[in-house]
Amino acid sequence: MQASSPDAPQSQRTVLLEGVDLGSLLGHRDRLVGDLERTHPGVSFHVRDQVLTMRGPVALVRAAEQAVGEILKLARGSGAVSANDVGEIARMVREGNGPTAAQTLSAPIVTVRGHAVRPQTRGQRAYVNAIDENTIVFGLGPAGTGKTYLAMAKAVQALQRREVAKIILTRPAVEAGERLGYLPGTLEDKIDPYLRPLFDAIGSLMDIEVVPKLLASGTIEVAPLAYMRGRTLNEAFVVLDEAQNTTPEQMKMFLTRLGYGSKMVVTGDLTQVDLPAASSGLRVVSQILEGVEDVHFEHLGVDDIVRHSLVGRIVDAYTAYDERRATARASQQSDKQSNTQGESR
């Protein structure tokens, strides 16, 4: 964050908010003004009619003016600007990437019921580009980074463009630290709780009345990972979710299902492994396939989280906690070795 002294030269700049729907841009109770003041400390913002006025130290106002310019470009292109967009544009301006901020964030993947689904951070854009450029992509990162949602949006886009004949969504049926016991009903009833997040996501990416027809025809298939064994998946966009809960054997089985004209995206968070004892296939595969042509590993981070801002702070807190535990274990191990060596003498 750029700092300034109280005696720094002051500046005032105005920007005409034209070519956009002012109500949509500003949001409820001028939400945009609050977002700008939060992301540009030291600068005050005021809107009257269609004029946005910025006051503060010269350098900070100059950066704010550039950010507002990119926000207007984004609003004209996509019709909506979120709080995450404002924060990401401010960050890109600080890092010297301001002139490309709107272009980086604007291109939609799909549009559903008037809502454009698009990457909202630079990391998410790199992830989406990697999916375009590679046959198999691994999206790794914490909760809220859009790993699965963006992969599924790309799958819908590929289906709409007729680049593939079907979408296959799968995940391992592993309980998240709980024992649910024997569930009643048919096999489909038993596995539905594990697959429900995938159904929900696909329902938010396509028209609601179309999804049941595509599911019934097999154009979209949602199935547990075990159902992939023995198959060859041709002309399909395949998304494996929660891949941190695969065993190395399951991961190998899944990847070798790849057929002609198909694309695979594997998503997971290695900090949330629910396997009882076995090592994670996602962790192992990153050591095996790193550097293999047409296979790409994209690592998303805290800066790519687009949920509530508190999620990022929670992830940071857990990461720091895990690092402290690892340091403590290493120190205890070192002390034990020192004691053992001392006794042997």
DSSP, residue by residue, 87-119: HHHHHHHHTT-GGGHHHHHH--SEEETTEEE--
pLDDT value at residue 176: 45
pLDDT value at residue 235: 96
pLDDT value at residue 237: 96
CA atoms of 199 and 287, how far apart (whole Å): 31
Domain parsing of the chain, residue ranges:
10-106, 116-304
Report percent pLDDT > 90 for the chain. 32
- Identify the burial level of 235 via C-beta atoms within 10 angstroms of its C-beta, where 0-12 means exposed, 13-18 middle and 19 or more buried: middle
In this prediction, residue 119 has a pLDDT band, given cuts at 50, 70 and 90, of confident
Arithmetic mean of pLDDT over the chain: 83
In this prediction, residue 78 has a pLDDT band, given cuts at 50, 70 and 90, of low
- Tens of pLDDT, residues 145-171: 889 999 999 999 999 999 999 999 998
User: What does CATH list as the number for 10-106?
Assistant: 3.30.1370.10
Report percent pLDDT > 70 for the chain. 85
pLDDT greater than 50 at residue 68? yes
| pTM as predicted | 0.68
CA atoms of 31 and 83, how far apart (whole Å): 8
- Tens of pLDDT, residues 295-324: 999 999 887 887 666 766 787 788 788 778
pLDDT greater than 50 at residue 140? yes
116-304: CATH, from 3.40.50.300, 2.40.50.140, 3.90.10.10, 3.40.1190.20: 3.40.50.300
